[in-house]
């Protein structure tokens, strides 16, 4: 089995023939190598695979065809609706227009590198670029598993660095003013639940009475309500860490008890017209709330008070920030917030910890400098 390497100035390729069972030969061609040595090594590896019968079958399938006709229809059966919706949008807007016509088996590392650079040059955020690259990498990993390609050419790409910013949160005066202001609001118990527990919007709107124990003062996060392509999707949290039980304070417990009485009265008033969903926060006829509507109401209430503009999700950050700032263990905060591990919590809320770090340094120095230690 013989092959040849050709090229110059950072653009090298190779070609060799592989005998087929029917006596004919098929050609294997790869391009895009920076040096002659890289091309030679890659050709040698492929030749060895061909000799061992491990080389993938040749195909003219393009990246776009693979993603839209093969990968997406299969992967939608193993991911959540919101995830597959995100995959489809990224494939359609970020991948196919740029590299969709490239043959899947000819796609190489330099092409992926240039694609990543083009996304950054188009003004997309680092997070958006990394998300697009992540989808391509997952798809190519599956192609490798299915022996459609010989390697995942996305793994070598240099990705832009995401600049993390401290989450926005209200101070104690702002959150106090807000909770006082909304006491007469129909959704006052919901606003208090957001502020005191740090639950996500979808978790609060998906909360069911069967997941609430008002006597014990705990709620179980076992159901969420989110919007996917304009439709409401209900289901369990995305991760195992998201499925959790949270203790609620006495004030929030009392607010939920009062709310339950209101909802029971509305159920009786509606009679057969009541929509029985077991959802905690509903309209007078039992209909659950629409997530985007909740966000609009919250922003309007904050604007009425002249408070700094944050979203409902920042109420979650507010709860986490003040739990850590008042001395609650980051590990416990992580469990209450539904983070996969405490490192996520620490990376998000490290800005709250400098005072704790200074106190720890002072306490350690005081111990070292005490007479009892010095005289040993």
Mention every residue, 6+ apart, whose C-beta is less than 8 A from residue 252: 189, 192, 193, 196, 197
pLDDT one-digit tens code per residue, 215-237: 999 999 999 998 877 788 888 98
Q: Which residues pair with 219 in a beta bridge?
A: 212, 246
Percent of the chain with pLDDT over 90: 56
pLDDT at 363 over 60: no
* DSSP one-letter string for 242-263: TSEEEE--HHHHHHHHHHHHHH
Percent of the chain with pLDDT over 70: 88
The pair of structure tokens assigned to 79 is 């991911």
With cut-offs at 50, 70 and 90, classify the pLDDT of residue 178.
Answer: very high
Query: E-assigned strands of 115-204?
Result: none
β-pairing, 11-19 with 3-8?
Answer: antiparallel
> What confidence score (pLDDT) does residue 19 get?
65
- Asked whether 349 and 334 are in contact (CB, 8 A), the reply is no
In the 8-state DSSP scheme, what is residue 236? Answer: S
> What confidence score (pLDDT) does residue 374 get?
45
Mean pLDDT rounded to a whole number for the chain: 87
CA dihedral 158, 159, 165, 167 (to 10 degrees): -140
Q: What residue has token string 């995401």?
A: 162
Q: What residue has token string 């989808």?
A: 135
pLDDT one-digit tens code per residue, 84-110: 999 999 999 999 999 999 999 889 999
- Asked whether 120 and 129 are in contact (CB, 8 A), the reply is yes
d(CA 168, CA 173): 15
Measure Cα distances from 333 to 83, 99, 172, 344 in Å. 26, 43, 18, 11
Angle at 51 between CA 49 and CA 57, to 5 degrees: 60
Measure Cα distances from 143 to 47, 85, 190, 293 in Å. 20, 20, 46, 41
Between 75 and 9, the higher pLDDT residue? 75
């Amino acid at each position: 089995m013989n092959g040849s390497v050709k090229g110059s100035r950072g653009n090298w390729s190779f070609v060799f023939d592989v005998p087929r069972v029917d006596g004919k030969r098929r050609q294997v061609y790869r391009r895009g190598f920076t040096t002659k040595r890289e091309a030679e090594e890659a050709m040698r590896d492929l030749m060895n695979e061909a000799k061992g019968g491990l080389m993938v079958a040749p195909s003219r399938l393009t990246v776009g065809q693979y993603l839209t006709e093969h990968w997406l229809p299969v992967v939608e059966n193993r991911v959540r609706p919101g995830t597959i919706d995100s995959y489809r949008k990224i494939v359609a807007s970020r991948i196919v227009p740029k590299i969709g016509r490239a043959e899947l088996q000819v796609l190489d590392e330099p092409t992926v590198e240039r694609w990543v650079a083009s996304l950054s040059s188009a003004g997309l955020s680092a997070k958006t670029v990394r998300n697009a690259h992540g989808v391509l990498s997952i798809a190519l990993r599956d192609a490798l598993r299915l022996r459609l390609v010989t390697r995942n050419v996305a793994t070598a790409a240099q990705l832009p660095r995401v600049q993390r910013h401290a989450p926005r949160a209200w101070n104690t005066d702002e959150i106090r003013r807000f909770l006082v202001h909304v006491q007469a609001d129909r959704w006052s118990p919901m606003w208090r639940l957001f502020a005191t527990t740090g639950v996500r919007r979808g978790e609060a709107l998906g909360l069911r009475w069967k997941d609430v124990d008002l006597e014990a003062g705990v709620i179980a996060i076992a159901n969420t309500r989110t919007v996917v392509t304009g439709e409401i999707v209900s289901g369990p949290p995305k991760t195992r860490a998201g499925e959790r039980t949270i203790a609620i304070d006495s004030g929030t417990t009392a607010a939920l008890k009062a709310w339950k009485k209101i909802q029971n009265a509305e159920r009786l008033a509606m009679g057969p017209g009541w929509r029985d969903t077991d959802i905690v926060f509903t309209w007078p006829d039992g209909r659950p709330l629409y997530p985007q509507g909740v966000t609009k109401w919250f922003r309007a209430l904050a604007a009425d008070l002249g408070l700094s503009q944050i979203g409902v999700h920042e109420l979650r950050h507010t709860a986490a920030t003040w739990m850590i700032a008042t001395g609650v263990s980051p590990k416990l905060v992580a469990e209450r917030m539904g983070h996969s591990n405490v490192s996520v919590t620490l990376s998000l809320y490290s800005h709250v910890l400098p005072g704790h770090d200074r106190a720890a340094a002072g306490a350690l120095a005081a111990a070292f400098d005490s007479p009892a230690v010095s005289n040993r």
